[in-house]
A and B are shown apart, each in its own frame.
Chain A
Amino acid sequence: MKLAALSRKAVIQALKTDGLRLKIGGFNVCLSSSIPEVADHLLCLYDAFDVINDDDFVDFYTSLAPPSILRRYFRPQVNFSFDGYYKFKPLPYKQASAMFEWGLNWCIASHSHQYLIIHAAVVERNGQAFIFPGTPGSGKSTLCAALICSGWRLLSDEMTLLSLADGLVYPVPRPISLKNRSIDVIRSFYPEVIFGEAVNDTSKGTVVHLRPPDLSVEQVKNPAEPAKLIFPKYEQESATKLVPLSKGRAFLRLAENCFNYDILGVQGFNSVGDLIDASDCYDFKYSSLDEAIVLFTELAH
């Protein structure tokens, strides 16, 4: 059953009682919360996701709740818990939905060492996964949003999960996090896409989540072969420039962008090496999304 089949009342009820259980990528997630806005966030952005049965194994038990009764009313706050542990400082109540996304990122990045986890967006076309590692501000999410709005498959906006077992990229398509100026860029580019509520005054500025395409969510069981490793850099007014990057340098830069390279030890080294072997590596500088889409579409043929 898809989440869309449930009424708002039913979602709120599930969140308040045993928790709402969703299949998100390869993970089963249970979320409990008494915050109605969380239900709205899920219904807007996760409506195409499967609700799992009560007796299915759950990877991550999470909750969003005020840290104390006082903080329900006075300068209201929200806190994210995983298996009953609170890893983060509370945030303003209005940032609850964003905190769920960030908290889930942390759950996956900290507990999924069957994958090499790369801080990178990853999209697929013609069976080829294009991986865009990037530090905040590099424009990877904007690029990723523009590509999926142009028909590419979303595997992930935030974390590329490269299986240590078979070297394939496993999808975990979730809402794409856009920040500040990139929100209006994508809104004006693709007025038909669905956005969640804007969350203002976060540590990253204003954050909005974009609903993942249905087709990407449906293909959640289909991994993709890594083909291109592209380090994007958005620069105002810059010409579109794709420059080959040597494999050795790409290796080091990729390793720097992994969440668990050090934890995996020699497995991490081999996994990065295999990915580099399988991929053409580039530096990419851009300011025009139109040109970037044309270029990558040609590259995927």
Chain B
Amino acid sequence: MPDNCVISLPKEHVVSCRFWEDESVVYNQVSGETHLVDGIGAQIFKFISEKAATRTVLLQNIINVFELETDSDMAGLFDNLILEYQKLGLLAVTENKTA
């Protein structure tokens, strides 16, 4: 995944989120599915529900919040999570045209 791609909630407010401590529930109006996410997943949705972020910014935030080592495993796990959520229609990944 390119570092400068933008990760955001899907347009037209089709996804709603609620947050409690390290948990979040995410509701997709299109599929009607409700998902419980915790840990890193919850932090991803907490961050992007406030504002869209590039992969670099979001990954750095996760590393800071969870005090993780910066390594390729972490980046791989992060990318897999983003792709999984994207498949479920819970977030959008777009090319950063301003870069």
Which one, B18, B25, B32, B38, contacts A262 given CB within 8 A?
B32
0/1 per residue, B1-33, Cβ < 8 Å to A? 000000000000000101011011101010010
CA separation between A204 and B24, bound complex, in Å? Answer: 37
Check if A249 sits within 8 Å of B36, measured CB to CB. yes
Question: Dominant SS at the A interface?
Answer: helix
Which of A248, A252, A277 has the largest number of chain B CB atoms within 10 A?
A248
Check if A273 sits within 8 Å of B25, measured CB to CB. yes
What residues of A have a CB within 8 angstroms of the CB of B32 in the complex? 262, 265
Check if B25 sits within 8 Å of A248, measured CB to CB. yes
Give the residue name and chain of the A residue nearest to B23 (CB).
A248
CA separation between A269 and B16, bound complex, in Å? Answer: 8
What residues of B have a CB within 8 angstroms of the CB of A262 in the complex? 32
The answer to whether residues A248 and B36 also contact, given A265-B29, A269-B27, A273-B25 and a CB cut-off of 8 A, is yes
Give the residue name and chain of the B residue nearest to A269 (CB).
B27
Is B70 in contact with chain A by the CB < 8 A criterion? no
Shortest Cβ distance from residue B81 to the other chain A in the assembled complex, whole angstroms: 17
Check if A269 sits within 8 Å of B34, measured CB to CB. yes
Shortest Cβ distance from residue B48 to the other chain A in the assembled complex, whole angstroms: 18
Check if A273 sits within 8 Å of B34, measured CB to CB. no
The answer to whether residues A248 and B29 also contact, given A266-B16, A273-B18, A276-B18 and a CB cut-off of 8 A, is no
Which one, B16, B21, B29, B36, contacts A252 given CB within 8 A?
B36
0/1 per residue, A260-289, Cβ < 8 Å to B? 001001100110010011000000000000
CA separation between A252 and B33, bound complex, in Å? Answer: 11
The answer to whether residues A266 and B27 also contact, given A248-B38, A249-B36, A276-B18 and a CB cut-off of 8 A, is yes
Interface residues of B in 23-63 (CB under 8 A from A): 23-25, 27, 29, 32, 34, 36, 38
Give the residue name and chain of the B residue nearest to A270 (CB).
B16
CA separation between A276 and B34, bound complex, in Å? Answer: 15
Shortest Cβ distance from residue B25 to the other chain A in the assembled complex, whole angstroms: 5
CA separation between A266 and B16, bound complex, in Å? Answer: 8
Shortest Cβ distance from residue A113 to the other chain B in the assembled complex, whole angstroms: 15
Shortest Cβ distance from residue B28 to the other chain A in the assembled complex, whole angstroms: 10
CA separation between A277 and B24, bound complex, in Å? Answer: 12
Interface residues of A in 232-277 (CB under 8 A from B): 246-249, 251-252, 255, 262, 265-266, 269-270, 273, 276-277
What are 5 pairs between A and B in contact, CB < 8 Å?
A248-B25, A248-B36, A251-B18, A266-B27, A273-B25
3 nearest A-B pairs in the assembled complex, by CB-CB distance: A248-B23, A247-B20, A269-B27
